Structure 1
Amino acid sequence: YVVNPVIVEFWQGRPGRLHDRIQYTILEDGSWKIERLAP
Structure 2
Amino acid sequence: MTLKKPFTLLQKQKKNTPNPTDIMISTKTFFTHRILKTF
The verdict on a shared fold, with TM-score over 0.5 as the criterion, is: no
Q: Which has the greater radius of gyration? A: 1
- Give TM class, smaller chain: under 0.3
More strand by share: 1
Choose between structure 1 and 2 for higher RCO, CA contacts under 8 A separated by at least 6 residues.
1
- TM-score normalised by structure 1 residue count: 0.26
More helix by share: 2
- TM-score normalised by structure 2 residue count: 0.26
